[in-house]
Amino acid sequence: MTFTQAALIVVAIAAVILGLVCYHLLSRLDLLERAVQGGMEPPSRRLGREEYEQRFRRAVARASLATEVEHGLVLVLGAESAAGNHQVAAALAQLPRGDGITAVAQDHSAATFLDDLDLSGLKRRPDDPELGIAITPFALVIDDRRVTAARALVSGADLVELVSRHT
């Protein structure tokens, strides 16, 4: 084996390694882009590894939800928000149509409330614990397969405002 052949083999091995490193980095970049589509924002403080992974998984789950819904409002209801005396539940019952709204029930009482609700055009979706929503009612605004806003709904006026602005 001559020096030229040995150098050619070393260069070929280096090119393969460089290609694998580039593939790995591009796949990580793709995951970060999906997380940003799910509403992940830069942290305001330094995060630990576990906390970052938790936020990352939540953002990727929300990105897949955004891809599925494409455009509209995702409303997450729990037991306390589905009670008939809750302001958001009352505002939801007052809406003339449910076009552009996807409802997610986190428990049986919320599912029963949505079943009893007579709102044409309202879409239903099963709950996904990976969304990381602990406070209900909660709304995700999705525009062009991207989560543009995510917030808890405090009153019925919040729901009416989101519906009028984003549907």
pTM value is 0.66
What is the count of structural domains for the chain? 1
pLDDT for 17 equals: 96
Does the residue 33 lie in any domain?
no
Q: What is the DSSP pairing of strand 101-105 with strand 72-77?
A: parallel
Does the residue 60 lie in any domain?
no
Does the residue 154 lie in any domain?
yes
Does the residue 114 lie in any domain?
yes
Domain interval for residue 140: 69-166
Does the residue 34 lie in any domain?
no
pLDDT for 18 equals: 95
Say if residues 38 and 58 touch (Cβ distance below 8 Å): yes
39 φ/ψ sector (left φ>0, alpha ψ -120 to 50, else beta): left
pLDDT for 57 equals: 83
Contacts of 51 (CB under 8 A, 6+ apart): none
- How many Cα neighbours within 13 Å face the side chain of 122? 22
How far does the chain reach from its first CA to its final CA, in angstroms? 71
Does the residue 131 lie in any domain?
yes
> To which residue do tokens 């589905």 refer?
82
| CATH code, domain carrying 107 | 3.40.30.10
14-32 as b/e: b if 16+ CB within 10 A: eeeeeeeeeeeeeeeeeee
Does the residue 3 lie in any domain?
no
pLDDT for 50 equals: 82
Give the DSSP H or E segment for 155: none
Does the residue 110 lie in any domain?
yes
pLDDT in tens, the chain (167 residues): 899 999 999 999 999 999 999 999 888 877 777 777 666 666 667 777 788 788 888 888 888 888 888 888 888 887 776 665 567 777 777 777 767 778 887 777 777 777 777 666 777 777 777 777 877 788 888 888 888 888 888 877 888 787 777 65
